[in-house]
Structure 1
């Protein structure tokens, strides 16, 4: 089995306007994921707004989350930074606190070359000793990992997995098959992009890195378990109930929608860090309506 498999759920990091972590709300979010028995937790990913938090705030968030899990669920934590030395510090912090792996993106203000990204990832893996997951997120970083670069990085000791974007459901199977040919056995291949994730799991991906799973883990776990058991019809049936949320993700961004879901579910009333604005009232009503329809579908 791959190092990472199943559902990796990505919660928000609730903070106040000054960036102070709301530890009570964070623990409530983590407790929900533990109750749902997700396979791993993706802390301080893009949904966890890691790039908006200081090193101290990141450490506090990880410490609280690990304490809440009690070591029962692996925690994968974002360790990205603009500078390689800063990313190494974040990765060392994560290792010292007990994270299972670090999620590392090619974040930069200046465009990066493949060789620069290779050195960045190799240095973080080598100098921190923390297992590293490649985070390919071109929509945010404007850098896309080529097959040649993935193949090089997959041979670096300590780089153990990749979180791929999904451009379209029809392309996933071919992409997965091609990527399997260039990485070592046991190297975990996973996908984000929630509205295409069911197709990825049916195609045989190891891991679904899920935004919705961080706030509504139960239906996402249902999709993953059905796909793992070969019940593709059931996986698609559950996915179909989530289409209203997928459409809202596409319209407003998954980040803004899950902050609203946290409010509707009465977990917390945190807003994303400025300059990201919360959804307007009309859009929040759409999210609440979509959640109500999902609950009705789950009962029927």
Structure 2
């Protein structure tokens, strides 16, 4: 087992270096599993109250599934959540009457999910697994979702989408929220004054953080809107909608580069609504 990552003063893993370079699928999986295991306590201390114990937030703008209804009626449906983190969405779905299987790459996140299952009395099934190799039978779920879960961290996203299509029943729906591709050319700042292009929207080279020895410890992958459309279609889905949530009136939460002031000007989240043909 690799040694735990050293932490910065804010509780998040300490980055020895930041660069843009290609990484393999295996390298991406290993790095992000370790990073989220180490970051889980700090991340949940910072954002846990906003995420809730049993709530379904599609992104920092404040769009909730209770209002958006992108998954439709979930009562009695078998639902897969990919990249569940501490599993607030899975518990919300459970409370709404769904039979939920929630998976995440990070044991650290799932440990907190188990604690919250116990304290809320809502117990979706939790699995540690990689979206690239889902431990589920073909056509075994009715719906699938991922709220800022695994997709931004996956190198082979087309293969991951094909895996979701494999486990969905014909006529099923997959809804996933990801970082809006438009965020990539701009600095990671919530201040609208910083909306100055500093990179190319078309540069798909992954964002990489390394430790002091140059080992990759965090990876995030950029895709354009067109890339997402092509990957969804190539996996066998029909793209039913692309949702770009506007900032929820009255919401004051600042989350990384997402803020009310910036959210009033440019989108920060893209929600892919994907249907599998019958």
Normalising by structure 2, what TM-score? 0.33
Structure with more contact order per residue of length (Cα contacts < 8 Å, sep ≥ 6): 2
Query: When you count helix as a share of all residues, which structure comes out higher?
Result: 1
